[in-house]
Amino acid sequence: MLEKLFESGKIGNLEIKNRLIVPPMATEYAAEDGRLTERYIRYYEEKAKGGWGLIICEDNVVDPRGAGFKNLAGLWSDEIMKEHYELVDRVHRAGAKIAVQIYHAGRESNSSIHGQRPVAPSAIQDPTQAEVPEELTTEEVKDLVEKFAQAIRRCKEAGYDAIELHGAHGYLINQFMSPFSNKRTDDYGGNFTNKLRFPLEIIERAKELVGDDYPIIFRMSVDEMVEGGLTPVDTKVIAQILEEKGVAAIHASAGVYKSGAIVSAPTSIRTAPFSHYAEEIRKVVDIPVFAVNKILQPQVAASILKEGKADFIAMGRASIADPHLPNKVRENRLDEILYCIGCWQGCQGKIAQQEAVSCLVNPKTGRENEFEIKEAKDKKKVMVIGGGPVGMEAAIVAAKRGHQVSLYEKNSKLGGQWLLAAIPPGKELLNTLTVWQKNELKKAGVKVILNTLVDKNTVLQENPDKLIIASGASPIIPSISGWDKSHVYTANDILNGKVDLAGNAVVIGGGLVGAETAEHIAVHNHNATIVEMQSDIAADMVSAPRHFLMESLKHNEVSIYTDSKVLEILDDAVIIETAEGQKKLAADLVVMAIGSKSNNELFDQLDNEFDISVIGDANQVGKALDGIKNAYELALNI
């Protein structure tokens, strides 16, 4: 089945060694002046070494005013192209073909990025942005056509094997094509033909500069998924026109910023949610079509190809999590693949904050040189306490460096509270990290001791050179009247399956844990209510996962009381204080989800008798992204 992934294919006259593509994804690794950095180059070089057939570099800007993020690569002058030649050379030497995405954000930008009001086809504010854009004059549109074409010329001269025009996700080219954003009445608006004039003129002028044979890929949003936007009926026609004009392939995505939560589908969304869009486009064109979005498993990628839905598979976040995925598949090392879990924490979540991309499951992402695992000169005896993801990460990296590592876990399973995080609906992907870490522990030769609560005597007997405490955190139990009644449990108890769900459940605390526990209860056909003291729930979540969690809570009729305080827990009810006064909620089950406190008592007991590091929630309750990265870095420096 998987051999389908490794058939060669053609994009125009460009031969690709397999069907696996790295699509463009913003990283913010470029310099603020638009030049490529060593970090940017090394990031893509690692993917090339990992066996991908074609790598498409991210969001390269044709004009500084077109940047939607602060640290994007620029293509606006010959003077900033030097590092592009090096990137192309290194990727080619590593065995991959390389393309670059040509881009202008249009109205999906703001003055905080480049100091100017954004520009767009029409002076209509993007629903996600704070500023009305300036409407481009006809002459300014023609000037941008030339800027796009000259950028393409620079890319060919730098040695890129192809380019991709970014005509998707509500950026400038998409804005001209779409009735959602284009209300012009000159040659670039008003009817279907005019709305396509901007991208078609770019293609025509580019071909004058680079020739008809240079492959131009076009990324489109097959469905903008907004009121009054483009639909597959429209874009199937557009795809046929693009083919007639010499486009070599269609990269079939969907969505714009307003519908952006689905564009990089998070954990809870089904696998390959856009594959049917590729299938629709493929029905009407003879050029290759790329499928994209949350295609994480090689088996799914191969099935999409076999079904004839697409000709190539773009696996973006999968390549962030594991740049060596293709080689591992080809060499039948499937158990070594680090799978993306769709968490958004290190990729889209960081980009939304104008920060450089990282990855929860792969701390080496974007730090390929800095975080290289090297053999330790001085081998040590390392003792790790706590078998959650943070403790396991520290143990794996330390053992790979040649240290003698033992890992102690008080429970009968490895995984810690990460196992509970994978219980709520749609969170099963989190288990792929636990399975990978367990396999890596075995391969690295880590001695794992389960069902053992470590105390001072255990440490004295082990007598390690280095002690790492990763003992996690425990639920906080607030001193609410009635907290000790027999029907009061923690969220951990619910997710652990220690409680028979029945009747009405009141969840006290509306953070991530409380909200997802309430969702879990409601999905399993029981009434759930959330009571939260703050003005909103799940406020600590990344945007897209939160968007779909809130949709699920609404769909499953979870009642939510914010700005509310629990006053008392009764045998069959909970008394709360709301802005409108006191209210009595029926409660057969009360669930505490107030938060967690660090388990680090052992550190105090040892009185600095050892070289000790406390990491993860044991040090400070926080996100797994930070805990795993800190564990990796610590183990690199033992």
Known catalytic residue: 171? yes
Which token pair is 374? 């090297």
Place of tokens 């700005």: 563
Cα distances (Å, whole numbers) of residue 41 to 55, 68, 315, 455: 12, 21, 19, 47
Neighbouring CB atoms inside 10 A of 285's CB total: 17
User: Is the Cβ–Cβ distance between 437 and 414 less than 8 Å?
Assistant: yes
Neighbour-count burial of 559, counting CB atoms closer than 10 A to its CB (0-12 exposed, 13-18 middle, 19+ buried): middle
User: Is the Cβ–Cβ distance between 338 and 321 less than 8 Å?
Assistant: yes
Report helix, strand or coil for 618. Answer: helix
Give dist(CA 437, CA 158) in Å, integer. Answer: 41
DSSP per residue over 147-176, as a string? HHHHHHHHHHHHT-SEEEEEE-TT-HHHHH
Give dist(CA 292, CA 359) in Å, integer. Answer: 19
Q: Which residues share a beta bridge with 584?
A: 575
Angle at 417 between CA 415 and CA 419, to 5 degrees: 55
Please state at what angle helix 543-555 crosses helix 512-523, rounded to 10 degrees: 40
User: Is the Cβ–Cβ distance between 525 and 593 less than 8 Å?
Assistant: no
Residue among 82, 100, 53, 44 nearest 368 (CA): 44
Pairing of β 134-135 and β 249-253: unpaired
User: Is the Cβ–Cβ distance between 131 and 112 less than 8 Å?
Assistant: no
DSSP per residue over 293-324, as a string? SS---HHHHHHHHHHTS-SEEE-HHHHHH-TT
DSSP per residue over 529-569, as a string? EEE-SSSSSSTTS-HHHHHHHHHHHHHTT-EEE-S-EEEEE
Cα distances (Å, whole numbers) of residue 113 to 174, 255, 352, 426, 489: 21, 23, 13, 35, 48
Place of tokens 């790979």: 400
Residue among 430, 562, 455, 457 nearest 508 (CA): 562
Residue among 443, 465, 461, 458 nearest 385 (CA): 458
Q: Residues 43, 103, 171, 408: which is the catalytic one?
A: 171
Q: What is the set of active-site residues? A: 171
